[in-house]
Amino acid sequence: MTDLPARRLLLVHAHPDDESINNGVTMARYAAEGAHVTLVTCTLGERGEVIPPELAHLSGAALGGHRRQELAAAMRALGVDDFRLLGGPGRFADSGMMGLPDNDDPGCLWQADVDRAAGLLVEVIREVRPQVLVTYDPDGGYGHPDHIQAHRIAMRAAELAAEAGCPVAKVYWNRVPRSVAEDAFARLGEELPGLPFEKAAGVGDVPGVVDDEVITTEIRGEGFTHAAKAAAMRAHATQITVDEPYFVLSNELAQPLFTTEYYELVRGERGPGDGRETDLFAGIGTGEVS
Q: Is the Cβ–Cβ distance between 44 and 68 less than 8 Å?
A: yes
Binding residue per annotation — 82?
no
Amino acid 2: pLDDT: 63
Cα–Cα dist 193/134, whole Å: 36
Amino acid 1: pLDDT: 58
Report the 10 Å Cβ neighbour count for 142: 16
Amino acid 285: pLDDT: 72
Amino acid 286: pLDDT: 44
Amino acid 289: pLDDT: 44
Cα–Cα dist 259/246, whole Å: 11
Q: How much of the chain is in helix, strand and coil states, percent to nearest 5?
A: 40, 20, 40
Amino acid 252: pLDDT: 96
Binding residue per annotation — 57?
no
With b meaning 16 or more CB within 10 Å and e meaning fewer, what string describes 159-179?
Answer: ebbeeeebbbbbbbbbbbbbe
Q: Per residue in 193-238, pLDDT tens? A: 999 999 999 999 999 999 999 999 999 998 899 999 999 999 999 9
Q: How far is CA 274 from the centre of its chain?
A: 27
The 8 Å CB, 24+ separation contacts for 154-157 are: 154/12, 154/118, 154/121, 156/114, 156/115, 156/118, 157/12, 157/118, 157/119, 157/121, 157/122, 157/125
Binding residue per annotation — 137?
no
Q: Is the Cβ–Cβ distance between 196 and 35 less than 8 Å?
A: no
pLDDT mean for each 10 residues of the chain (290 residues)? 88 98 98 98 97 96 98 98 96 97 97 98 98 98 97 98 97 98 98 96 97 98 93 98 97 97 97 94 68
